[in-house]
Each structure stands twice: as C-alpha cells, then as structure tokens.
Structure 1
Amino acid sequence: MRDVIHLLPESLANQIAAGEVVQRPSSVVKELLENSIDAGSSQITLIIKNAGKSLIQVVDDGKGMSETDARMCFERHATSKIADTEDLFKILTFGFRGEALASIAAVAQVELKTCQESDETGVLIEIEGSEIKRQEPVMSQTGTTVSVKNLFFNVPARRNFLKSNPVEMRHIIEEFQRVALSNPEINMSLYQDDLETLNLKSGKLAKRIVSIFGKQYQDQLIPCREEVQHVLIEGYIGKPESAKKTRGEQFFFVNGRYVKHPYLHHAIMNAYEELLPEGTFPFYALKIDLDPVHVDINVHPTKTEVKFDDERTIYAVVSATIKQALASNGITPSIDFDLDVNYATQRAASTLPSSANNSNISSGSNNKFTVPTGTFNNNQVKNWQKLYPDPDKTRKWENEFMELKSRSDVPEKSGKPLEITFSSAANEINEQAEQEEKLNEHQARVQKTLQIKYKYIVAQVKSGLMVINQQAAHERILYDQFINRLESGKGISQKLVFPQTIELPPADCATLIGVLPELHQIGFELEPFGQQAFILRGIPAEIKESAADSIIESFLEQIKMNQTSLEDEKKSKMAKIMAKKASLKEGDRLHSDERQALIEQLFASSNPNYSPDGKKIIAMLGSERLDELFM
C-alpha cells in the first residue's frame, strides 16, 4: 500500500493558516493597528479604499524595525513578545502569536516601509503571496507604514464570500473604534476613499467616547470605578434612558484588549434590571485590569475571547461596580449613612407646595380629582373644578358629539349662510325618502361592526361573529403596500416642512448607506450630510414625523442582527419594520367607516389570516359556539 500522508506546500499551508487570522478586511485592520500600538506609537493613521478590498494602509510613528526584523516579521511564528513558556502566562502585548503579517502576506500584496530613529535609512519590502518581490533601502521617517493591497487576490473563492462595501466598511470602523477606545492616549485618524471619517485627538476616555459616538453622549455617561484584590474596573456606562435597541455599543477591555464575554455582559444587564425597557441595551465601555496570570488570552486565534481563573469574583465585582455607579447618580435607590435625616426631612418639606402637605388630597378608584379642604376658599374650589371637570360627564359629551357627527343627515357647519330653496311637494318627499334611505344604510353599516377595548373589531357574518385584531390586520395591509413599493421602486413620500438632521456613529452611517436605495423606494428622502450625519427631507405618507428616527433605528438593528445578501429577504424585513411602526396600535379609536374600510382592505390583502410576523388576525365565533354559551 502506498503512503498517503505528505507535507503540504508552504504556500498552501500559509493560506490555510491565514484563514484563521484573516477572515475579512477588518481582520487585517485589527492586526495592523495592534502592531502599531505595540510599537509605542503616539499617532496612527488608517487609510481604507474600496472597503479594504483594494487598500488597507496603516501609518504610525512607532519605534520602527531594523532591516533584519523587517524581513523576519513575515515568517510564521516569528515574534519579539515571548521567549519561553512562562511568557505565555504574563502577556500584556497584542501580537504575540507571530502569525499576523505572515498570514496577511499569504493572501495579499503587502508593502512594508519602516525605519528606526537611530538609522539614517529605512527598508522597503514587497511581498506577494508569501513570495518576496523586492527588498531595498529607502528614505523614510521614523515609524512603520504597512500597505495591504488586493486582499485575497490569489484566493478568489475567499474574495467571493466578502459582503458588500457598506457591510465590510462597518466591520472596519467597529475594529477601529475598539482600538481607539482602549487607547485614548493615542491620536488616531481614519480615511475612507480619501475622505476623513474620524480624527480622534488624545485625551481621556470620556472625550474619546464623545468624539466617536457624538456630542449627545456627553450628558449620558456615568463614570464608574472600583478596585478590589488586584482587580481594577473603570470606565463609563450609559444612563438607562439612553439605551438603544441595537447592540454594538458594549465594550469590554481586559488589560487593554477588546474581548467578548457574555458572562460579564450578563452581570451588567443584571445591574440594570428593571431600569431598561424590554429589548434595549445600555452603552458601556469598561476596562478590567488584573494580573495577567489570572487571565488566559490564548483561547482563540482572533484573541477576542478570554478565560478568567475566577469568573465568579469578576462577575460580582463588575455587577457591584455598575450598581454603585447607578446609585451614586440617583438612578437606583441608595442609603446614605452620612445624611442628616432631620435636615433631609426639613428640606423635603420646604420643596413641596403647601397643598401637598394636606392629607385630604387623594384620588379615588373612579379617577376623580378630590379637592383638598381647609386650604382653599370657595372661589378657588370653583376654579379647581373648572380645571378638572367630571370625566364621566366629559366622556358622555364626547360620545354624544361623536354620535351626532356620525349621522349623515346632520349638515356640516360652514361659513356660508343657510340657503332656503322652494320645491314642489313631490320633490321634497323624494329628497326626504332619499335621506332616510342613506341614514338607514349608514346605521346598518354601524351595526355590522363594533370596536372592543379599542383593540378588536367584531363584525357580524352569516356563520356568527368574526373578531379581528386591528393592529395585526393593519400590519398586513401596510406590509403588502410597502412590498409593492419596494418591488416597483415607486415610493409615496411627504415632504417635511423643516428637514431633520440625523446624527449616527460612523459604523451606523456605513450601514445606512447600504440600504439607502431601499429607503428611497419606500418613501424616505434621505441623503448623506458629512461623514456622520444624514438629512431627512421626506418620509412615507403612512408614518408620523416623530416616528422617523425610531424606524431608521429599527432598520439598523435588523441589519446588524441579520446580515443577508438575499435581496428579497432584505425587502421583507424592511417592509415588516415599516408596517409595525406605522400600524394602528391598541387604544386607537376607529369610526364605523374606518372599521369597514379596514376589513375590506384586509380581505383584499395577500394573506388576511396572518400578520407578517405570523400572528393570527381573525378568530371566528360560530353560531353553534354562541348557542353553547347560553345552553
């Protein structure tokens, strides 16, 4: 039997190894930025073209490399960070594996230019598919410039798996933000297709957060800090009211390294318990510094996963730190043992209006306002009664007005004087009969439908009663309308009197640019305005102006959670979001004509029985079932 096991060619082995480190352009960005940080740089510039597919260039002013080191850095498992086994348990640098540049050079065309401060000239090395094409001296400033061109040029299959430019650019910006947040003392800038996207000056973490995510974060940040038993936790969290429905603004840094840790994320969500609306996520950027012997970062090739030797303790410290920060800002109840109770009572009494101290102020079960006695005279009581009329009487008046308005034989009020015309007795009788017939028709239609709890519509049919969920029904109707617009490319838009400016983080801007054509088809008139903002000039006719920001935020959430290249699926998700935001809600009152129109449109839709989310729309109560209720 012939031997079947053989060594792989070096070029093929390098490409296989590159698959673990270089998954997409953002992977290259991460490795190059971390190398610049390890070099002690104070200024780092990232230049991107064609979402990293054509060019990824990182320029730093670090200590640079000698000619020998410049050549050795492209060899596999070549590193200056570790020398023996013990070094693996005290790693405080980033590129300790020695695989980054070797893996990148295996699947791209790489140009390295570097120079040390003590050297008169630097060195230029060009590598293409792990093969050195050129190496020569060159004049260069102190530091290193790495240019990665035509990523995956020799692995077309890998290049075909890359997403669209907006998606890949969003991943690049996210990696850049993570490195920038963990190193606020370094000046960092990002250029995208020759346009400056971010220019971050050195400073404190709070300044870096505001520079990246916008000025609105300036009043939303809560500082937190705790140090116990060789563990230091510090950073910032967001106020509960600033929580978003989208993930992505949650950052953990362990010894300066960005990590993903679901267990510690749960600790923070536990601290925010009962403070956040359902389905929202708070902002946080927390740095955890501890002895490297207590954390293992050699878990995953991308080094975004770590293990602690005592995760329970870290969990408890993180949760306690967040709770303390929230309590110190008055967001959660706390006990202040240094507070003078007598002074606090006097201060509380002085800040309340005198009427608040009266024990007769109460609200009964019937929600009527009870006027306090002993502190107002009769005239004041009358004034209070004017401000707070009997709600039962008000509701009765409203019902009478709505009933009067719904009658077809009551003329609308107009500014013209009443015109009196004379006609024969026959014409008068015919007109009266015609009006009575219209009134009877209207009353019959009113009797056909009924609204229950401003949530369900009950209609009489031959087989019994039909109960319709008005919100689910309206979602189905709107969903079909938006799908038709997306497929036809013709959206109905209403112009805004005052255009709105929507500011977004750079990563969200890159995401939103990718769906602008679909937004235009639905009816949004949205266009980029600078690098981190958009101008909203028009919205779909079915939605309210106040709901535009919420809808765009929901779009971004869905895109982040469900990255897909299928055009039909993308359109379906966008139509669902629009339908859910613009549909009727529980508590919306519908007149008889509106109820009837809703039913007619529902049965003209593509699927009257189920909403776009699969919720049941119609329930039938047959005559037999009704008879059983009274047997």
Structure 2
Amino acid sequence: MLQTTGNGDVIRVIASIYGIQTASKMLPLIAETKDFKISGYVAKPEVNRANRSYMTILLNHRYVKSYPVMKAIQAGFHTLLPIGKFPVTVLMIDVHPHLVDVNVHPSKLEVRLSKEQELQQLVTDAIKDVFAEETLIPRASEGTVRKQVSRDKSEQVPLAFDEETRLDESKSDRSEKKSGPDANPDYSEFASGREEPRSGESVRKETGKADTKKDVPFEEREERQATHVYEEGLPRQRERVPKLYPIGQHHGTYILAENESGLYLIDQHAAQERILYEYFREKVDDPPKTQQDLLVPLTIELTNQEHDVFIQHKNEIERMGMSVELFGQRSYLIRSVPVWFPDGDEEAILYEWLEQLKEGKRLSAGVIREEAAILMACKAAIKANRHLRSDEMERLLDDLRSCEDPFTCPHGRPVIIHYSTHDIERMFKRVM
C-alpha cells in the first residue's frame, strides 16, 4: 500500500514511491508556451532504469501514456544515458482539453495531442536546459564500494495501470536480477552523507605528508592552466568540470586526477570520445561543401530487393549527397559521397539506408550526421592500455573541460567519477 503525507508536495510523493535516494537525485523542471505548460522532476542520468515504466506522464492531472512525449524525454537525455537504459521522470502537462483526443485506447490510457511537435520540442529543450546548469559527475559513495544494488531498498515498484506495463516491469526485474549487483551501480551522494570534504591542503597538514606534485599548492597550479582546445574547432564553453591535476594512470586506461575536492577517475577513451564527438558534430553540421568525389569509385552489388528499393528511392539517396550510378545488371558505382562520411564506411552506409527505406522509414540527414560523428569519434579516440605522458593527460583533461556535455561519452557511459576526501577517509575508517 502506498502512503504519502497528502500535502501535495510532489517530491515527497516521489520519495514515497521510488525511495529517498532516487528523490535526492531529482531536478525540478518547468517550462511553458502559449498552448502548453509543463512541470515536474527529472532524475540525473546516473539514476536510470531498464525500461520506460519510470517515465510518468500526467496530462491535466491524469496518468496517461504518450509515446511521442516519451520519445521527447529520451531526446532530452541524448548521449547522457547508456544504450538500453531509460530515465526516471515525473512530467505534468497542462493543456486545453480541446487539444487532447482521449478516445485512442479503450482504457483511456493513451492520448493523441494536437500540436504534438510543439510539445515534444518544449519537453526536450526543457530537459536539456535543466542539465545545462548541472555538474553531472557521479560521486562514488560507500554504496559503490560495497557493490550494492543501485535501487534503494525502500523503493516501491512503479505505478502500473495496465497489464502491458506490469508484464514489462516483471521482465525488467528478472533481467536486473540476472545481471548481478554490479549491473547498474548508483553513485548516490545521499548515501554517503552531506558533510563537506576537507581541502587537500588541510589533509596534507594533518597527515604530515607533502603533496606529490612537487609541493605546488592548488592555488598556484590554477594559475598555470593552459587552453588546449582544438585550434580549428571546439570553442571554449562555460566550464562545468573543475580544474583537475593528473597524478597518474591505472592500467593505461583510467587517468587519476585530484583537486581540492578529492580524487577523480577519468576513462581516457570515453573522455576523448566525447571531445572528438563534439568536434566532429560541428564539422558535419557545417561542411564547406556538400560532396567529395572518390579517388577510386566503389563497386557494390545489390540483391533484387535492394535494387528495387534503390530504383524507387534513387532521388532521395542523391538528395542525401551520395552519387550512385548503374554499372551492370545489379551492380552500382559509388562515385561521390558527403564530405562528412567516415572514411571506409561508404558501402555500409548505403546498405543501411536501403534497409531503412525497405522498412518504410525516411532518411534523415540530421540523424545520419549524428551517427557519423559518433562513429568517427569512437574510431579516432585513444584506446585502453595506452599509457599517456603527463602533458598528454593534462591536455586531455583541459579539452574535456571545454566540452558542452563533458560527463558522458556519446554512448552514455560515464566519463568521470568523483571520490571526495570524505569518501576516501570513510573507506579507510579514518572517520566513522
């Protein structure tokens, strides 16, 4: 049975349903246009679930299911969530009843909205605006060290009003049990308390140890920081990651860095993947010219079905910037491609386009360019087991601080994890 205080405080209701840990990670959201007003809470990306059941939508104070709105919510979390993970949100939408069609589903759960695209854009932009003001570095709490399951013990199951949702949730629970306790760790600041960590200088005084960075204080190091952003691209953004000072590497994969707030672990591949993704994204969005000729045209052979699809959609493929001409009965020559195509992937992309067209989907230049930027960043980023010099680590960290969203790679994996000085001292039982 669900029990709440009944005072109308939404965040307290969220705590009663999902637990205090999850509620402490929720961020308020509010936005409106002439036709729509939205409010509610969205959880930080580190709090996520294995299905869509935790995206709660209340339309004019009534629980509904709207897949376009869910799609807009996920778009607001773009590149912030791992593949196969979904956000925890409570979204309340106020709209004039004339803009709502409730006669879509027998149980009145699903609705159809007029001006749906306007609402989708409002939801996506509002979520992005919320995260643009936040530092989304997960904190490695005591729960992480003990390898506890991320879900709070006091958390109740999501409210399920139809059989489909209940079946979805039961499947999710089974999959989470199979994946083990490490599948989705929760880096909850709430679990480790809110005591402020001591500065690096005070720790050195108490332990009698000198700083390993040649006794240079943090304040002096701050004055030495350089701007290592790519000369051609990446403009300096408002820095959402604090200045970090590398002190070493773990297995040639993770950079260890420190500042007055504690210790940071940085996944070097994910970090450079994020840097390159934002760099390539700007390049493919504004290419100097639309097409480039291939030095040696590529020859491909299509099946009968692919050939029919190509003939039917030839003009659409050419509008996307790819020049293909017949070279036999079912053979074709790719002569030119958009300048932002990843090298060596021209043939694979054409086959993917034909598959999408075969399924009745439309080709979107924006989606294709986004996928191209992600693919190029992943291929070009430094890999694991690559040992970096001190200056290389410093440059990587400074470039990361200049990113628009420096907290996750384009696939949604975390880039940085923070151990506060207090967290570390608790692990070593220096404080209880």
TM-score per shorter chain, which class?
0.3 to 0.5
- Structure with the bigger percentage of helix: 1
Is the radius of gyration larger for structure 1 or structure 2?
1
Q: What is the TM-score of this pair, normalised by structure 1? A: 0.24
Q: What is the TM-score of this pair, normalised by structure 2? A: 0.33
